Structure 1
Amino acid sequence: MILTNCAACAAPLAHTAPRCVRCWTRYCDSTCQHDHWRRGHKQMCKKIHRGGNAEQYNADKKYKEAVAVAVEACADDTKDQTCFICTQALHWKTKEGLVRGCSCRGTAGFAHVSCLAEQAKILVAEAEENNLGDKVLVERWRRWHTCSLCKQEYHGVVRCAIGWACWKTYVGRPETDATRGFAINQLGNGLDEANHHEEALSVKEAQLSLLRRIGAGEEGILVAQSNLASTYGELGQMEKALSVERDVYSGRLKFHGEQHPATLRAALNYASSLGSLKRYAEAKPLLLKTMPVARRVLGEGHRVTLKTRWTYASSLCEDPDATLDDLNEAVTTLEDARRIARRVFGGAHPITGGLGRDLIKARAALRARETPSPGSA
């Protein structure tokens, strides 16, 4: 269950918490349930039940809200455009507008969230129904987070809307169903992309608790821990993030070796937390070891490679013991990474923008170091 708080008093719930027998709304105890019934649940109970019960009803409601936010955010970009899937400006059924939250440029990549979701749903269903194997299923699952045209991940509020679309599609499956677990991942990551970090935290904590309860494998646990650590970091809980990311990196090295993409992502996350805690002496050697491996395994234009170089340059600039050579290296690294990011993702992408902002700071720091202070000999 992703509804992890009591509907009456908002207190955190155990997975065994009681629930309404009709609509499955969950409560701390019978006292909260009776109180909620008197305060209006009596009028809503049948409606929630008809909507697929509490979890489905909540997912559908949140999905519609997230789509509205995404459409509004993309309105200037999508004006006078049409969906590349259904070829309409307004969705024929939902009447929703268009979004574009990937790296497509020009007139490419405009779509309705509903169309993107339906396309992903159909492709995943075909893989499941025809027993096409895990490799095909994983590849088709990418449609829930990656644009089929530019091959880059969705970001921002568009990623959040697609996350809710994914969750509402698979929420009714058993808790042990792998696809339901994948959907929780998409929801948590989407909430983080839209800066809804408190909501993301409850989703990710619930997911990790579930995986441990049902005895999930080590891979699933590592993925859930990594996702949870990223949200700790977004919320400024850096010591918690660092502790989890250290364990994840160690686990990835043990199970996959240093050249596996998952290990490279874990190294980046671990180093980022070290940098946030100003532990540059630990972060820089890890990043120096990771950067050439990431470029060789993933390619220079991969987001993990670019973020690893970005994090390294930031560590050089922010270290109070940085030398003039360190600052020169930081500027050179950021200039090259930004050039590659602009080519791969476009100028409007968050990675490109972030690299540009840090490049301005690094150049300013370098100029300040190169310019003699007044009165110096």
Structure 2
Amino acid sequence: MILTQCAVCAAPLGLSLGKKCGRCSTRYCGPECQVQHWKEGGHDQLCKPMKKAGGAEQYNANKKYTEAVTVAAEACAEDTKGQTCYICTQAVHWKTKEGLVRGCSCRGTAGFAHVSCLAEEAKVLMDEAEENNLGYDAMTERWRRRYKCSLCEQDYHGVVACALGWACWKTYVGRPETAELRSFAMKLLGLGLCAAKHYADALSVQEAHLSLLRRIGAPEDSILGMQTNLSSTYGQLGRDEEALSMKRDVYSGHLKLYGAQNRHTFIPANNYATSLISLERFEEAKVLLRKTMPVARRVLGEGCEATLIIRLNYAKAFYRDTGATHDDLREAVTTLEELETTARRVLGGSYPTTVTIEASLQDARAALRAREAPEVLQTADDLAAHFDSL
């Protein structure tokens, strides 16, 4: 997580409250905690290294990045055995000695790289874009290299996404609070922490980011985007009512800004439906998704990950509903079978969305079998009764 709490008592400070060390900017709720940290918490030993690294926030980002790279390389060790980085062509990074990762949809011998190489390549591209004052489209395309594989064009996921999030944050944390790239980096860090299922840490980052955007008067679409990510994290932490309320507001906000036919509205609509399903408000979810699905399929295409997820949730709204009919369950199974084939072809078998679809397909089939089983048992009972009467 980023430093939003007192280093001694963990009192919440957000991004602007409290007191800072004059040398390294370590944050405290007040002078008492600062004195205690110097005398008893080891700050007298850490202050100089923190200052040398660029301050407490930069020191923390560097440390968290190194830890995240180690976790990612260890998680990918079996998959990357005997391979080399497609950027530097080495198996072990010459400087950091880190191992390889692959957290995208590349298959075969493609897509293996060091997190450091991916991060450095993305940094160079953005530095060039800034130096040459490239336009918005060029900057956006280059920024995608921070989270999207340049070979398969799919987002990085899991612990690899988390490591890349920390790589991005440590690169831009030193910029002013109003700097656009710093804000983008904070957003990417929150998403990376979620990808690695560090939801409590992600929540801290996202709440701080939302507070920052409001304080600096960010555009409405930026605030809505941050609320979208934050509401999903609320859901992951089981705070379903808070998630539903925020997702409903975000969906309404996108409808006002873009309209129902715009691609920017599809994800908020799906997120809202996800919360409705979690709270077993299945009919509301179905109505919403019936409006969203056809437009998403036409605008985004059948193979787009967002389209797959929207259709996945539509199937969930049927098979999780205890009042679903036999035909409803059959439709859910048929839909998920189609989605599984498409996801395997487009995203690969190990991609998280593919894995989720496969798990949902198993759940839907189980629900269908459970619905059919009583009919079979009733038939058997009827047969037994018939023979007993003979």
Q: Name the TM-score class by shorter chain.
A: over 0.9
One-letter amino acid of the counterpart of residue 247, structure 1: D
* TM-fit CA distance, 1:261: 2.2
- Give structure 1 stretches of 5+ with no counterpart: none
Structure 1 residue 116: Cα displacement: 0.3
Greater mean alpha carbon deviation, residues 43-52 or residues 60-69: 43-52
Partners in 1 of 2:110 and 2:209 — Cα distance?
A: 35
Aligned residue number for residue 288 of structure 2: 286
Q: Distance in 2 between matches of 1:47 and 1:126?
A: 31
**Structure 1: how far apart are the matches of 2:311 and 2:317?**
10
Alignment TM-score, normalising by the size of structure 2: 0.95
1:52-96 per-residue CA deviation (whole Å, 9 max, x = no partner) reads 100000000000000000000000000010000010001111111
Further displaced range: 272-281 or 361-370 = 361-370
Tell me, yes or no, if structure 1 residue 5 matches structure 2 residue 5: yes
Written as runs of structure 1 = structure 2, the 5 A alignment for 1:1-377 is: 2-14=2-14, 15-39=16-40, 40-371=42-373, 372-375=375-378, 377=382
Q: Give the residue type in structure 1 aligned to 2:26.
A: T
Larger Rg: 1 or 2? 2
Q: Which amino acid aligns with 1:7?
A: A
Aligned equivalents of 1:227, 1:173: Cα separation in 2: 23
**CA deviation digits over 1:193-228, x for unaligned, max 9?**
001100000000000001111111101101111111
Measure, in 2, the Cα distance between the counterparts of 1:192 and 1:375.
47
- For 1:111, what is the secondary structure of its paired residue? coil
Aligned residues, how many?
377
Q: Deviation of residue 16 (structure 1)?
A: 2.6
Q: CA deviation at 1:375?
A: 3.9
Paired with 1:240 and 1:364, the residues of 2 have a C-alpha distance of 31
Distance 1:246 1:361 in 2: 27
* Aligned-partner residue type, residue 95 of structure 2: K
For residues 199 and 226 of structure 1, the distance between their equivalents in structure 2, rounded to whole angstroms, comes to 17
| Partner amino acid, structure 2, of 1:100 | R
SS at structure 2 position matched to 1:314? helix
Deviation digits for residues 9-37 of structure 1, max 9, x if unmatched?
A: 11111413110000000000000111111
Amino acid at match of 2:361: L
Range with bigger deviation, 100-109 or 259-268: 259-268
User: Which stretch of the first structure deviates more once superposed, 335-344 or 288-297?
Assistant: 288-297
* Counterpart AA for 2:315: A
- CA shift for structure 1 position 152: 0.2
What is the CA–CA distance in structure 1 between the aligned matches of 2:27 and 2:174, rounded to whole Å? 16
Unaligned 5+ segments in structure 2 are 383-390
User: What value does the CA root-mean-square deviation take over the aligned residues?
Assistant: 1.1
Counterpart of 1:193, as a letter, is A
> Secondary structure, in 3 states, of the residue corresponding to 1:136?
helix
Shift of 1:147: 0.1
Residue 367 of structure 1: CA displacement?
2.1
Deviation at 1:368, TM superposition (A): 2.3
Conserved 8 A contact 2:17-2:29? no
Q: Deviations over 1:335-364 (max 9, x none)?
A: 001100000011111111111111112112
Equivalents in 2 of 1:85, 1:254: separation in Å?
44
Q: TM-score, normalised on structure 1?
A: 0.98
Q: Distance in 2 between matches of 1:341 and 1:51?
A: 44
Q: 3-state SS of the aligned residue for 1:244? A: helix
Q: Distance in 1 between matches of 2:377 and 2:333?
A: 25
CA contact (8 A) 2:72 2:163 kept: yes
CA distance in structure 1 between the partners assigned to 2:318 and 2:2 by the alignment: 40
Secondary structure of 1:363's counterpart equals: helix
Q: For residues 98 and 262 of structure 2, what CA distance do their matches in structure 1 show? A: 40
Segment of structure 1 superposing worse, 256-265 or 18-27: 256-265
Q: Quick check: 285-294 or 157-166, which moved more? A: 285-294
In 2, the alpha carbon distance for the partners of 1:56 and 1:272 equals 36
Q: Distance in 1 between the 2:189 and 2:112 partners?
A: 22
In 1, Cα distance between equivalents of 2:298 and 2:125: 31
Distance in 1 separating the partners of 2:168 and 2:262 = 27
Q: Give the Cα–Cα distance (whole angstroms) in 2 for the partners of residues 363 and 111 of structure 1.
A: 38
Amino acid at match of 1:256: Y
Deviation at 1:2, TM superposition (A): 3.0
C-alpha distance in structure 1 between counterparts of 2:163 and 2:263, whole Å: 27
CA distance in 2, matches of 1:260, 1:80: 45
